Structure 1
Amino acid sequence: MVRAAVLSAVGSPLEVTDIVLPEPGPGQVRVRLAAAGVCHSDLSLSNGTMGVPLPAVLGHEGSGTVVSVGEGVTHVAPGDSVVLNWAPSCGECHHCTIGEVWLCTEALTGAAAVHAHTADGTPLHPGLNVAAFAQETVVAARCVLPVPEGVSLTDAALLGCAVLTGYGAVHHAARVREGESVVVFGVGGVGLATLQAVRIAGASAVIAVDVSPAKEELARRAGATHFVVASERTAKDVRALTGGRGADVAIECVGRAATIRTAWSSTRRGGRTTVVGIGGKDEQVSFSALEIFHFARTLTGCVYGNSDPARDLPVIAGHVRAGRLDLAALVTDRIDLDGIPAAFGNMVAGKGGRALVVF
């Protein structure tokens, strides 16, 4: 038996309860969790914005120690420190073969499997493949990657989503160049990672936007040179901070139609807007045909930071070891499993950065 946070139905509160995990089968790994980040995607799964087979153990950003491995697993062994990879690439679909592993068509097929049972025998699914809101989990071998040298096991949980997403959004999706001006919308866990990545990219002006004035200190510690409290004037405020032109790049980490529209309007003619936040299917963004022509801006989506974890984790670890990237600075609350509902409430209220479940 292990303790886990179970979502039984959309909109219901998570229940922390005992579950029964099997021993790893062929091609599987059992991991004892050290830490798990509470991501906005977990909230989106719980409220139905994103679909997931239920009942499920949520949590997709985690790190831990290998307990045991199944037949055929050779790249990790018991005792190894690992990061959970919630979106592993199959290596065989069209997207994988052309190098777009973040768009792998098979990446989330594991979420439909049964990976555990409740004490009364009810089958449980692993939310987003890895079921990190638990003391231990059993995952496919391709869902674990070695923790890079020089990164603490607890902090390594953040590499599994927030940091790969934020760093990749800057360096792979938006392709921020040295000297450019960048505005980041949303100063949560991903937003803070994005701000640090923008600083690493050498942006000349780094503008953070959030609805909460209390986020300013967090944003400036992450690298923001300016802070704007979101309002109807946000686009004008950003233009005023960028010579009247608008930012070269906007990165939206909220996932709301109004914020996406404001991010677009905050960029200069020829500017680039990258959308990282996950919005609902009913969130509609409108542009006129004339403004698309006139402003010549680009708008792009971004999945998992357009990252390849196997390629990017060693690079990110290099920034951590050099002191350019501070993983611990993303965390504003360290909690246990029972603290996850309150962490969800803080996200809804726009409070804090990343909450980290520490086992």
Structure 2
Amino acid sequence: MSPAPVSEAIATRAAVLTGSPGAFEIMDVLLDPPGPGELLVRMVAAGLCRSDDHFQTGDSIAGRYPFICGHEGAGVVEAVGPGTPGWEVGDHVVFSFIPSCGRCRWCSRGMTNLCDLGRYLMLGSRFADGGGYRVHLEDGTDVGQICGLGTFAERTVVSIDSAIKLDPDLPLEEMCLLGCAVGTGWGSAVNAAEVRPGDVTIVMGAGGIGSFAIQGAAHAGALTLIAVDPVEFKRETALSLGATHAFASIGEAADFARSRTNGQGADNAILCVDVLRGEHVAAALSAIRKAGTVVVTSVAPAHDDGGIPVNPREFSHMQKRLQGSMFGMCNPRADIPMQIEMYREGRLELDSLVTRTYPLDQIVEAYADTAAGKNMRAVIRFE
């Protein structure tokens, strides 16, 4: 099918934030037609990552309001911008929340999760035209899109730098998780923590991201894999995904890890809690052995300047490592196709982790349910 030109603004509905803290409001918005290197996508599914909820709570602040959140998503291409080879109307697509230009220092070194285009993620503007926008209110007010995506909308205009083509037989409801949750969690274990066969690994926070960190650590060969979460439902799910033990608190997990390591502690600990605090990092550092690694995956509040209450001597004398992890240190253009094949072969569990789907109009309720511990991953289903 040949690309279909679009010359007029496209009306759609979206969940919009007018400020943080605040609540998503369903509004009518207008989309510009896709330009060169852009796609108009009809959304089918969007994952409800807690990172988007941080804008509702005020823990994260957007560069511009009004602002459309949603950075996990999958859908069907409805129009292709001029001068955009390789894409056709009807293509199925999943988004990578971090775009990759393929030209910057980081992309050229294979570290596409650190692509320089990432500077636009919270600004809401486009990548290519000096801060332009593709979404507007009916009065002409520009609307930002998180990560240049804004998947909490029935339709969106995105750059092909953020798009990865999918085979049409793949279920988009599950595939949308590949855009953030899967790689962020899996990569935090495999790439950032460098879990090895025989390791004692702690995953602190067993929700949407932690469930994939658990799967990644199990795949990498962790012998003792300890999940930590105060919610019993999530602990039970963690055990079904490969965790060998589950506890409600990091203190219990740390004591158990020491009991299995002659008092040394875990080889690595991965932080996937909902809202990161300095005390979480400190507790994880205390739980690992000398020369162990703590991976920080969770998002901390933008206004949190409390620091990490750790004695610096613990780093030098115990040779411990604190490792940040953006998108699991993944290369999405290589890793997402790999994850798809693992899913096809039954070696990556996605289906059961979509706990419930919601219509767009129930997005506030969906996040309330997630905050209450009722969902592993909630998904907005648009059709």
Could you state the TM-score of these two structures normalised by the residue count of structure 1?
0.94
Which residue of structure 2 lines up, in the alignment, with residue 341 of structure 1? 364
Q: Is the 8 A contact 2:99 2:162 kept in 1?
A: yes
More off after superposition, 41-50 vs 245-254? 41-50
Helix, strand or coil at the partner of 1:211? coil
Which residue of structure 2 lines up, in the alignment, with residue 154 of structure 1? 173
Q: Is the 8 A contact 1:85 1:130 kept in 2?
A: no
C-alpha distance 26-19 of structure 1, shift in aligned 2 (>3 A): same
Query: Do structure 1's residue 114 and structure 2's residue 136 form an aligned pair?
Result: no
Q: Is the 8 A contact 1:19 1:118 kept in 2?
A: yes
- Aligned-residue Cα RMSD (Å) equals 1.9
**d(CA) in 1 for partners of 2:239 and 2:96?**
29
Residue identity in the other structure for 2:70 = G
Q: Is the 8 A contact 2:92 2:168 kept in 1?
A: no
> Unaligned regions of 5+ residues in structure 1, if any?
none
Residue identity in the other structure for 1:288 = N
Deviations 1:209-232, CA, capped at 9 Å, x for gaps: 012233221111121110010165
Residue among 107, 110, 134 paired with 1:99: 110
Which residue of structure 2 lines up, in the alignment, with residue 36 of structure 1? 46
Which residue of structure 2 lines up, in the alignment, with residue 262 of structure 1? 283
**d(CA) in 1 for partners of 2:263 and 2:191?**
27
Which residue of structure 2 lines up, in the alignment, with residue 239 of structure 1? 258
Q: Is the 8 A contact 1:148 1:317 kept in 2?
A: no
Helix, strand or coil at the partner of 1:87? coil
Which residue of structure 1 lines up, in the alignment, with residue 22 of structure 2? 12
Deviations 1:20-68, CA, capped at 9 Å, x for gaps: 1222112210011110000011012333323322111110000011111
Helix, strand or coil at the partner of 1:59? coil
**d(CA) in 2 for partners of 1:187 and 1:231?**
12
C-alpha distance 180-234 of structure 1, shift in aligned 2 (>3 A): closer
Could you state the TM-score of these two structures normalised by the residue count of structure 2?
0.88
1:97 deviates by 3.0
C-alpha distance 31-16 of structure 1, shift in aligned 2 (>3 A): same
Output aligned runs, 1:201-240, within 5 Å: 201-230=220-249, 232-240=251-259
Residue among 5, 12, 15 paired with 1:2: 12
Q: Is the 8 A contact 1:7 1:54 kept in 2?
A: yes
More off after superposition, 228-237 vs 99-108? 228-237
Which residue of structure 1 lines up, in the alignment, with residue 31 of structure 2? 21
**d(CA) in 1 for partners of 2:163 and 2:268?**
33
Identity of aligned residues (%): 37
Which residue of structure 2 lines up, in the alignment, with residue 355 of structure 1? 378
Residue identity in the other structure for 1:302 = S
More off after superposition, 272-281 vs 97-106? 97-106
Residue among 327, 333, 345 paired with 2:350: 327
Q: Is the 8 A contact 2:91 2:168 kept in 1?
A: no
Helix, strand or coil at the partner of 1:17? strand
More off after superposition, 107-116 vs 257-266? 107-116
1:149 deviates by 7.5
Which residue of structure 1 lines up, in the alignment, with residue 6 of structure 2? none
Which residue of structure 2 lines up, in the alignment, with residue 250 of structure 1? 269
**d(CA) in 2 for partners of 1:165 and 1:231?**
21
Deviations 1:150-198, CA, capped at 9 Å, x for gaps: 6422211000000011111122111111221211010110011111111
Q: Is the 8 A contact 1:35 1:358 kept in 2?
A: yes
Helix, strand or coil at the partner of 2:209? helix
> Unaligned regions of 5+ residues in structure 2, if any?
1-10, 126-131
Output aligned runs, 1:281-296, within 5 Å: 281-296=304-319
Which residue of structure 2 lines up, in the alignment, with residue 318 of structure 1? 341
**d(CA) in 1 for partners of 2:190 and 2:43?**
29
Paired residues in the alignment total 359
Residue identity in the other structure for 1:9 = G
1:135 deviates by 0.9
1:8 deviates by 0.9
**d(CA) in 1 for partners of 2:135 and 2:55?**
19
**d(CA) in 2 for partners of 1:148 and 1:346?**
32
1:233 deviates by 4.5
Helix, strand or coil at the partner of 1:245? coil
1:206 deviates by 1.0
C-alpha distance 108-346 of structure 1, shift in aligned 2 (>3 A): farther
